[in-house]
Amino acid sequence: MTVLPISVCIPVKNEAKNLPNCLRSLNNAFDDVVVVDSGSTDATVSIAKQAGAKVLNFRWDGGFPKKRNWALQNHEFRHPWVLFLDADECLTPDVIKELRAKVPGSTHAGYWISFTNWFMGRPLRHGDMFRKLALFRKDAGQYERFPESWWSHLDMEVHEHPILTGTAGVIESRLEHRDYRGLSQYISRHNEYSTWEANRWQWLSSAGAEAWQSLTSRQQFKYRNLNRWWFAMLYWFVSYVLKRGFLDGRQGLIFASYKYRYFVDIRLKILELHRNRQEPC
């Protein structure tokens, strides 16, 4: 079977538990797999090399670019398309089949890909569907850039999305998002993310129109209302009730509760930032 005209880029740090499944899911459909490592201290690098992936060593200096943009700027990918996967994401045969059908000869600049979250040992088939612009032509654009060196300690683009020149299609089949590091890591990671979101909200609140124009309509609604007391409740209601997250049983309820808490944390951190800015030195 011929390989796809797509390079795969997997940014990592200490992902020995997740990376083997991610690499295995590629199923020999890709001949250019690049793992970008940020100084892992576990077996991540050796796992990547044993699987035949090329390993790039990345050291963040606290500024621009971060990991994904750095790879786009400094590595010559073999193919015109780049698929960015996280180590806790796996392709399915249906996704690979759809990539074969849609990407060769495509006139799009990129593709949105949805994913099925696994939480506490089972897939969440309902609730809010997560998606990201994970596949795009390497010359079509880069991940958005924020003046964030003073408030973010994340060395990789996590919530930033690619700003592309051209149209974006949709891959209907879903990736599998399954983190084997457990709830403790999940909670710790989302504590970092909520801090990032609060600071991004503060930056956007004083940014010009150009910064807002780069956001999708969903993102614009989110950042205009993250500081509202009702936003976390609205998200919970839409995801758990209207989008039937309750059909995922106990795990669906717990997941929705964590997401509610996540948006409450963002609002509280926004209020704290505002208070600290108002208080005299």
User: pLDDT grade, residue 78 (50/70/90)?
Assistant: very high
Domains delineated in the chain:
6-177 (3.90.550.10), 183-278 (no CATH)
pLDDT tops 60 at residue 46: yes
pLDDT at 212: 83
Q: Which helix (H) or strand (E) holds 55?
A: strand 54-57
**Average pLDDT taken over every residue of the chain:** 91
Residue 145 or 171, more confident: 171
Long-range contacts, stretch 184-189, CB < 8 angstroms, 24+ apart: 186/258, 187/258
Taking each helix axis from N to C end, the angle separating 249-278 and 183-205, rounded to the nearest 10 degrees, works out to 40
**pLDDT tens digits along 181-232:** 888 988 998 999 999 899 889 888 887 777 787 788 888 999 999 999 999 9
For the chain, give the number of residues: 281
**pLDDT tens digits along 4-44:** 999 999 999 999 999 999 999 999 999 999 999 999 999 99
Residue 145 or 1, more confident: 145
